[in-house]
């Protein structure tokens, strides 16, 4: 096949169909196609479901599943339609590997085709044959919502689709590490921000040079996989009950446009989106655009409403946000008026793609250093926290985002329980955030106070009678490592280190999004992590447990050199002290019981230490 011919076939969706949709004078045909797609969705026969299958390199195919379909037939149809090899691949749906039974897959679900081999190629784009047969198989609209959504999101989707048909192109966003785009309405106003999952940092079609990983592999945070930040954006919106924290309306969509990026297979080639007529379908997060004056990093925080900061912080605690810096808190000035809290500024939290990790990592809460976070919660906020039901939230996410992994849901349950208990004990937002944040001393990272409690609870689960006799040596290395490094740990909660003392700002790591400041972590696998545990340095007297530490180095070499390094070298360091995914359901229930028992003791000590600090502070400060 000649290079020119290959270039014409690189589109990931049927070129013939899309030419008809976008061609000049084809308005009637475009409207007919959109109406047909909506009609097909409404009149889906009983037992038939519409799903969207995505390959590791970002190709997306919408197809209808019949009762008799299985993983083999889905892969066969994908192979015929997109000309992708399916040998040695698995069809996955979140944690589940799909085989003969597809009954767990509901309509509008995104599925992922992954290779079973560890050596994956994510640089070769997909070829899509132009055929009338395939045109009938994928009758997608320009923007399709995956799952349910609110009326406001549906209105935004309709506005964007109308603008696309009228020829109004979206605008690429230069900032950030991933590909993102402003989509507009027919009046030219920005109404939505779209982030394709295959253009995330390290994803195969990232337009800014951060490539080298396939969808489903570890991303910027090792416990947040490439291609899975989009549904986390939706999860944050769903969990913001009654719009308590002001998260903009968000949905997961399949969206089609020529603006999207497709990387070329050959090094040094021009990006595919610079070539004309490269019309592409992507799975992406679709978020309402919020008109604002600046973000929190460009403005003094003293004018921010206390309630607004508290509400954003409460959400961040629940979803274990690992990337809450000032740049993803939008600020709107209300000249001549007042906002929902009687102030002249209004805050909007955005960019929640790095929340709900699969394991506890080092979160980043910039609001810890804001004065508002040290003010006690109001009665309204405490009542909201009391009404939070982690199991109801889990069921909500399982219903609306069935692809979400079980480990992410466990992090949500754990953090919600922690928030409720800590608020009941009278801790303020800053104190709760400090208990969740790791200390960074010298060149070493130590577990947070929350992780210390989890480590002790995990140890007690292994010692619990039904579990302790049945574990065979070498059966599960991830499970066994805790037995190697946690011995002599019984008094950890009462150790001098567990005193909830305040931490200076210098102890906190820089925000994750400032990738250049922490780009020289070598991506060690579990064997290297275990070795790091065994060589961790001692910060506590030898009679007590020595918590594992992570040795880190920081390099601020020129950005041109740094950005050309491999994805493995660019990943920020991340140590997992406690894993949740390897627990059985029974172990998880016992773990939560032990965690709650230990947490009360830890909060008692933390509250006492906080009271002592307050006395010292009031005794040396000026009069109020």
Encode pLDDT of 51-103 as tens digits: 889 888 788 888 888 888 888 888 888 888 888 888 888 898 888 888 878 88
**How far is Cα 200 from Cα 108, in angstroms, rounded to an integer?**
22
- The whole-model pTM stands at 0.73
Question: What secondary structure does DSSP assign to 338-396, as a single string?
Answer: --TTSSSEEEEE---TT-S-SS-----BGGGGSGGGGSPPPHHHHHHHHH--HHHHHHH
Considering the domain architecture, whether residues 220 and 94 belong to the same structural domain is answered as no
| 281, 256 contact by CB (below 8 A) | yes
| 312, 245 contact by CB (below 8 A) | yes
Considering the domain architecture, whether residues 109 and 147 belong to the same structural domain is answered as no
In a domain, residue 480? The reply is no
| 47, 68 contact by CB (below 8 A) | no
**How far is Cα 60 from Cα 226, in angstroms, rounded to an integer?**
16
* Nearest Cα residue to 493 out of 601, 597, 415: 601
Q: What is the mean pLDDT of residues 437-450?
A: 87
Decide which of 141 and 306 is more confident. 306
- pLDDT at position 532 over 60: no
- pLDDT at position 537 is 33
Decide which of 324 and 27 is more confident. 324
- pLDDT at position 302 is 87
Cα distances (angstroms) measured from residue 360 to each of 189, 363, 448, 510, 515: 40, 8, 10, 17, 20
| 529, 476 contact by CB (below 8 A) | no
- pLDDT at position 2 over 50: no
In a domain, residue 175? The reply is yes
In a domain, residue 466? The reply is no
First to last CA, the chain: 79
**How far is Cα 97 from Cα 113, in angstroms, rounded to an integer?**
10
Strand 181-184 and strand 143-145: pairing?
unpaired
Cα distances (angstroms) measured from residue 120 to each of 115, 403, 468: 7, 22, 38
- pLDDT at position 525 over 60: no
Considering the domain architecture, whether residues 73 and 146 belong to the same structural domain is answered as no
Considering the domain architecture, whether residues 149 and 284 belong to the same structural domain is answered as yes
Token pair of 372 as six digits: 């508002």
Considering the domain architecture, whether residues 160 and 211 belong to the same structural domain is answered as yes
Beta bridge partners of 190: 184
In a domain, residue 106? The reply is yes
Decide which of 572 and 198 is more confident. 198
Strand positions, DSSP E, 414-541? 439-441, 444-446
Question: Which residue shows structure tokens 């925000």?
Answer: 511
Residues 6 or more apart whose Cβ sits within 8 Å of residue 308: 246, 340, 341, 343, 345, 346, 347
**How far is Cα 453 from Cα 457, in angstroms, rounded to an integer?**
6
- pLDDT at position 248 over 90: yes
Considering the domain architecture, whether residues 77 and 187 belong to the same structural domain is answered as no
Considering the domain architecture, whether residues 82 and 199 belong to the same structural domain is answered as no
- pLDDT at position 268 is 40
Structure confidence at residue 465 as a pLDDT band (50, 70, 90): low
Strand 60-65 and strand 96-98: pairing?
unpaired
Decide which of 505 and 426 is more confident. 426
Structure confidence at residue 14 as a pLDDT band (50, 70, 90): very low
- pLDDT at position 394 is 97
| 320, 355 contact by CB (below 8 A) | yes
**How far is Cα 389 from Cα 247, in angstroms, rounded to an integer?**
19
Decide which of 534 and 168 is more confident. 168
- pLDDT at position 469 is 53
Q: What percent of the chain has pLDDT over 90?
A: 44
Strand positions, DSSP E, 197-267? 250-257
Considering the domain architecture, whether residues 169 and 216 belong to the same structural domain is answered as yes
Considering the domain architecture, whether residues 206 and 284 belong to the same structural domain is answered as yes
- pLDDT at position 256 over 70: yes
pLDDT tens-place string over residues 109-126? 889 988 875 444 443 333
- pLDDT at position 291 is 93
Considering the domain architecture, whether residues 100 and 162 belong to the same structural domain is answered as no
In a domain, residue 74? The reply is yes
Domain count, the chain: 2
Q: In the structure, how many helices (H) and strands (E) does the chain have?
A: 18, 17
- pLDDT at position 277 is 53
In a domain, residue 230? The reply is yes
In a domain, residue 370? The reply is no
Considering the domain architecture, whether residues 157 and 283 belong to the same structural domain is answered as yes
Question: What secondary structure does DSSP assign to 125-178, as a single string?
Answer: PPP----HHHHHH----SEEESS---HHHHHHHHHHHHHHHTT---EE--SSSS
Point out the least confidently predicted range of 18-22, 99-103, 375-379, 380-384: 18-22
In a domain, residue 511? The reply is no
* Averaged pLDDT of the chain: 75
Whichever domain contains 90, its CATH number is 3.10.20.90
Q: What is the mean pLDDT of residues 423-447?
A: 91
- pLDDT at position 149 over 70: yes
- pLDDT at position 39 over 70: no
Token pair of 380 as six digits: 């309204």
Count of residues in the chain: 624
Which range of residues forms the domain containing residue 60? 49-115
Considering the domain architecture, whether residues 282 and 161 belong to the same structural domain is answered as yes
Provide the sign of the torsion angle of the four alpha carbons 94, 100, 105, 110, taken in this order. positive
């Amino acid at each position: 096949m000649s290079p020119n011919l290959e270039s014409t076939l690189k589109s990931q969706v049927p070129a013939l169909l899309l030419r008809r949709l976008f061609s000049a004078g084809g308005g009637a045909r475009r409207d007919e196609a959109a109406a047909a797609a909506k009609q097909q969705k409404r009149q889906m026969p009983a037992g038939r479901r519409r799903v969207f299958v995505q390959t590791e390199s970002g190709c997306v195919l919408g197809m209808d599943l019949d009762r008799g379909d299985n993983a083999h037939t889905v892969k066969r149809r994908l192979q015929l339609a997109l000309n992708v090899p399916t040998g040695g691949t698995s069809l996955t749906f979140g944690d589940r590997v799909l085989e003969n039974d597809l009954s767990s897959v509901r309509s509008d679900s995104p599925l992922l085709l992954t290779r079973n081999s560890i050596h994956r190629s994510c640089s070769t784009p997909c070829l899509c044959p132009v055929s009338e047969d395939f045109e009938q198989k994928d009758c997608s609209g320009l923007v399709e919502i995956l799952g349910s959504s609110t009326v406001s999101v549906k209105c935004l989707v309709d506005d964007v689709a109308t603008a696309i048909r009228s020829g109004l192109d979206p605008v690429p966003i230069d900032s950030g590490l991933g590909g993102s785009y402003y989509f507009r309405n027919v009046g030219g106003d920005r109404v939505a921000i779209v982030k394709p999952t295959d253009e995330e940092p390290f994803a195969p079609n990232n337009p800014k040079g951060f490539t080298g990983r396939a969808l489903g592999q570890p991303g910027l945070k090792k416990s947040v996989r490439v291609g899975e930040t989009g549904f986390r954006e939706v999860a944050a919106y769903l969990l913001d009950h009654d719009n308590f924290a002001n998260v903009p309306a968000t949905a997961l969509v399949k969206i089609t446009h020529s603006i999207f990026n497709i990387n070329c297979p050959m090094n040094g080639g021009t990006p595919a989106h610079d070539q004309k007529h490269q019309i592409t379908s992507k799975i992406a997060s679709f978020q309402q655009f919020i008109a604002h004056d600046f973000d929190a990093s460009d403005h003094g925080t003293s004018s921010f409403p206390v309630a607004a900061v508290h509400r954003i912080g409460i959400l961040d605690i629940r979803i274990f946000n690992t990337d809450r810096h000032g740049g993803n808190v939008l600020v709107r000035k209300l000249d001549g008026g007042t906002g929902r809290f009687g102030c002249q500024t209004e805050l909007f939290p955005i960019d929640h793609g790095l929340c709900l990790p699969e394991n506890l990592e080092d979160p980043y809460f910039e609001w810890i250093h804001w004065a508002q976070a040290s003010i006690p919660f109001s009665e309204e906020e405490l009542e909201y926290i009391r009404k939070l039901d982690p199991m109801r939230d889990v069921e909500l996410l399982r219903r609306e985002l069935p692809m979400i992994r079980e480990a992410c849901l466990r992090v949500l349950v754990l953090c919600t329980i922690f928030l409720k208990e800590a608020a009941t004990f009278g801790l303020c937002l800053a104190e709760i955030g400090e208990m969740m944040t790791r200390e960074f001393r010298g060149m070493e990272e130590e577990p947070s106070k929350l992780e210390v409690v989890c480590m002790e609870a995990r140890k007690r689960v292994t010692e619990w009678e039904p579990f302790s006799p049945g574990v065979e040596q070498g059966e599960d290395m991830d499970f066994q490592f805790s037995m190697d490094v946690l011995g002599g740990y019984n008094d950890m909660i009462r150790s001098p280190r567990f005193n909830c003392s305040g931490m200076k700002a210098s102890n906190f790591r820089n925000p994750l999004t400032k990738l250049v400041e922490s780009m020289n972590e070598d991506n060690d696998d579990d064997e290297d992590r275990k070795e790091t545990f065994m060589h961790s340095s001692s910060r506590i007297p030898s009679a007590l447990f020595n918590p594992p530490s992570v040795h880190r180095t920081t390099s601020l070499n020129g950005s041109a050199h740094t950005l050309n390094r491999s994805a493995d070298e660019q990943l920020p360091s991340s140590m997992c002290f406690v894993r949740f995914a390897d627990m059985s359901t029974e172990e998880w229930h016992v773990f939560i019981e032990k965690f709650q028992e230990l947490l009360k003791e830890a909060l008692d000590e933390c509250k006492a230490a906080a009271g002592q600090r307050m006395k010292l502070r009031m005794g040396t400060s000026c009069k109020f």
